Amino acid sequence: MKQKNVKQRFWGLASVRAALLLPLLLFAAIHGVSAGGRGGESAAPRGTQAAAPGPFGAYTPPIELTAVKNLGAGNLLFPPGDSIDNNVWTRYYQEVLGVKVKYTWTTNEQQYAQKVNIAITSNDIPDIMMVNNVQLKMMHENGQARDMTAILPEYLAPFTREVIYQDNGDAIKSATFDGKLYAIPLTGFGLSSAMVLWVRTDWLTRLGLSIPKTPEEFLAVANAFTNRDPDGNGRKDTFGLAVYKDLFEGGFACLEGFFNMYGAYPHIWVPSGAGLEFGSVQPAAKTALGVLQDMYRAGLLDPEFGVKDALKVAEDVMAGRFGLMFGQFWNAAWINAAKVANPAIEWVPVSIPFSAAGKAQMPFGTTSYAVISARSKNPEAAVKLLNLQLEKTYGATAESTRFNITPDGFSPYAYTVLGIEPGMKNFDAAAAVSSAINNRDPSRLNEEQLNYYEMSLKSLAGDHDNNNWHQLKMFGPGGSLTVIRGYWDRGKVQPDQFFGVPTPAMTEKLSTLNKQVLTDYTGIILGTPLDSGWDSFIRSFGVLGGSRMTAEVNEWYRAR
């Protein structure tokens, strides 16, 4: 997938959304006026009630849909008198769409996957059920999943279409078998997982240095932060770069951003020749490891990083031991305690200082799918539920304090039958908040954005306890979300190119292979000779299942 095409697709859909005047469509649909849908009744399976036309058309008489519900890690909390069967969303489904939801069972997150497997095995399938990609494949093979190929595009609202296709259709492809769509992907968007470089700019100022823009400048800053007493305490007690023992996938003080700087992409699949290659075995990864080994030898890394988890490294960050750190956009929330303790410190999110080949890696973000039973009488109703959720939670007529998070702390977003958070939501919020701050005009902000704006203003005004500093560093001008959006706008993103069902070798061997990556990478950083250590790693990776996994992934890639 070419990043340029992804970006063009997103903005093209955004323009379509604006042109189609979704608020008017929704108003018309809710109030029984023609909403510019297909007109008349759409085609329905023989023997079923005809589908109400349009993305928000109501059923008359009302219909009943069965579903199951993952209640999350614990029991959901409801306002007095409400329950999972009777709440703001179930009432709104009936009011607007004429859809009554009946849950056949509910359970917690720990037991949900097992109960879904039992439902699949016993063929006790509700109208709508959330599954993972492996379960989706099972249901397709069992003939339990409804073909949504023609139904989904007919009933998608413009905003829903924009959200579902935000990744250029990869989520749709991941739910497609033999050219037909068998689920609604509850699309996630991996861009939020891209890394930024967090820098102690108060240290830069003290040492007369600038934000690093290249790998060479990055190393120079790391060296200065280690050897030039950036905190001015007269002791050699600081290090350039914060790293934690698991190296990857923690989101805080991890090394994806460092490897991305050199054009390497650990743990995702990237183009290589006529196929795909696992990023952890790329030659560019060897280059990055060689630099890390040199940094370790020079004392720019904590010699104890190999035994420290992310929480311990966070404590060291709070104690002022580090001046550089790769991490996700939310790292400001963890750093905030340090700002509260010492208002003089200043961490700033900046772009990864890419080499010419470098880009920010972006994992495939969709992990959940809404499967519609092959026996469902009104399969299009699930699309309507999703349209309504997106519009009233995030769309142009959103009522976020009613349908998302209430002022008294309840979370109606968790009551929905199915739901998606738009992948660009936080990035759009950051752009809106930054514009409002720069122009001193919050009039166009929605409820959620206004909250970020007000907290950011408190920080800018010198909030004495700095409890709002992290919001400014995420959503304000120059914040981490703006930095990541810059990767997207400049085409500096490398998406994971594998989005299929885990292959047999992946299911059996990936956990072992990832442990091998961690072991051998750590060994090389700590001093295993680079050439022999890398060659040994590549051999072990292949023998332990990497070669088989790569062959299977490329078989999928050629057939997709």
Residue of 533, 545, 513 whose CA lies nearest to 266:
513
Convert the pLDDT of each residue in 347-357 to its tens digit.
999 999 999 99
User: Could you tell me if 181 and 200 lie in one domain?
Assistant: no
Do 508 and 375 share a structural domain? no
CA–CA gap between residue 369 and residue 292 (Å, rounded): 40
The answer to whether residue 467 sits within a structural domain is no
* Confidence tier at 188 by pLDDT (50, 70, 90): confident
* Alpha carbons 258 and 18: distance in angstroms, whole number: 39
- The pLDDT, as a whole number, for residue 249 is 86
Evaluate whether residue 147 is within a structural domain.
Answer: yes
154 and 266 housed in the same domain = no
Residue 34 and residue 183 in one domain: yes
472 pLDDT tier (thresholds 50, 70, 90): very high
* Percent above pLDDT 90 for the chain: 82
159 and 214 within one domain = no
Quick one: tokens of 429?
Answer: 């919020």
3-state helix, strand, coil in the chain (%, to 5): 50, 10, 40
CATH code: domain of residue 52: 3.40.190.10
Q: What is the pLDDT of residues 47-100, one digit of tens each?
A: 355 667 899 999 999 999 999 999 998 778 999 999 999 999 999 999 999 999
Q: What is the pLDDT of residue 50?
A: 62
**3-class DSSP string for 408-460:** CCCCHHHHCCCCCCCCCHHHHHHHHHHHHHHHCCCCCCCHHHHHHHHHHHHHH
Domain that holds residue 105: 3-189+366-415
Rounded distance, CA 554 to CA 290, Å?
29
Q: With contact defined as beta carbons under 8 Å apart, do 385 and 372 qualify?
A: no
Predicted pLDDT of residue 74:
73
Is the pLDDT score of 3 beyond 50?
A: no
DSSP alpha helices (H): ranges in 146-276?
Answer: 151-155, 158-164, 170-174, 201-207, 215-227, 256-261
pLDDT tens-digit map of 406-429: 989 899 999 999 999 999 999 999
pLDDT at 466: 77
SS3 334: helix
Q: What is the pLDDT of residues 322-341, one digit of tens each?
A: 999 999 999 999 999 889 88
Query: Tokens 């109960």 — which residue?
Result: 115
For residue 459, being part of any structural domain is answered with no
pLDDT band at 462, cuts 50/70/90? confident
Q: How many helices (H) and strands (E) are present in the chain, helices listed first? A: 23, 15
Position 48 scores a pLDDT of 52
Q: Which helix (H) or strand (E) holds 295?
A: helix 283-297
User: How many Cα atoms sit within 13 Å of 7 on the Cβ side?
Assistant: 13
pLDDT at 547 over 60: yes
- On whether residue 528 sits in a domain, the answer given is yes
pLDDT more than 70, % of the chain: 91
371: DSSP letter: E
Beta bridge pairs of residue 163: none
Q: What SS3 state is found at 74?
A: coil
Handedness of CA 94, 97, 102, 106 (dihedral sign): negative
| Cα 183 to Cα 128: distance, rounded to the nearest angstrom | 10
Q: How many CB atoms are closer than 10 A to CB 292?
A: 23
Cis peptide before 158 (omega within 30 of 0): no
Q: Is residue 466 part of a domain?
A: no
* Residue 461 reports pLDDT greater than 90: no
Residue 447 has pLDDT above 90, yes or no: no
pLDDT per residue over 93-128, tens digit each? 999 999 999 999 999 999 999 999 999 999 999 999
Amino acid present at 473: K
pLDDT at 15: 34
Q: Which of these, 554, 560, 552, lies nearest to 504 by C-alpha position?
A: 552
- 66 CB-near residues (< 8 Å, 6+ apart): 101, 102, 103, 104, 126, 127, 128
38 pLDDT band, cuts 50/70/90, is very low
Confidence of residue 464 (pLDDT cuts 50, 70, 90): low
Inside any domain, residue 432: no
Whether residues 155 and 226 share a domain: the answer is no
Give start and end residues of each alpha helix (H) in 143-199. 151-155, 158-164, 170-174
DSSP annotation of 87 reads S
**Do 172 and 227 have their domain in common?**
no
Q: Model confidence at 456, in pLDDT bands (50, 70, 90)? A: very high
Number of domains in the chain: 2
DSSP 306: G
Give Cβ neighbours of residue 525 (< 8 Å, ≥ 6 apart).
289, 292, 293, 296, 301
- Average pLDDT of the segment spanning 177-203: 95
The verdict on 28 and 153 lying in the same domain is yes
Query: Are 197 and 235 in a shared domain?
Result: yes
Instruction: Please say if the pLDDT value at position 40 is more than 70.
Output: no
Kindly state whether residue 390 falls inside one of the protein's structural domains: yes
pTM comes to 0.86
Per the DSSP assignment, residues forming a β-bridge with 348 are 199
pLDDT given for residue 103 in this prediction? 98
State the chain's mean pLDDT as an integer: 90
> 291 and 324: one domain?
yes
Looking at the fold, whether 34 and 93 belong to one and the same domain comes out as yes
391-410 pLDDT, tens digit each = 999 998 999 899 998 989 89
Burial class (CB in 10 A: 0-12, 13-18, 19+), 456: buried
The answer to whether residue 449 is domain-embedded is: no
- CA–CA distance from 354 to each of 41, 151, 214 (Å)? 54, 44, 6
Q: Residue 18: CB partners within 8 Å, gap ≥ 6? A: none
Average pLDDT over residues 297-312: 97
**Rounded average pLDDT over 450-462:** 91
Same domain flag for 205 and 181: no
> What φ, ψ does residue 514 adopt, rounded to 5°?
-65, -35
**Contact indicator for 107, 117 with CB cutoff of 8 Å:** no
- The neighbour count for residue 295, using CB atoms within 10 Å, is 21
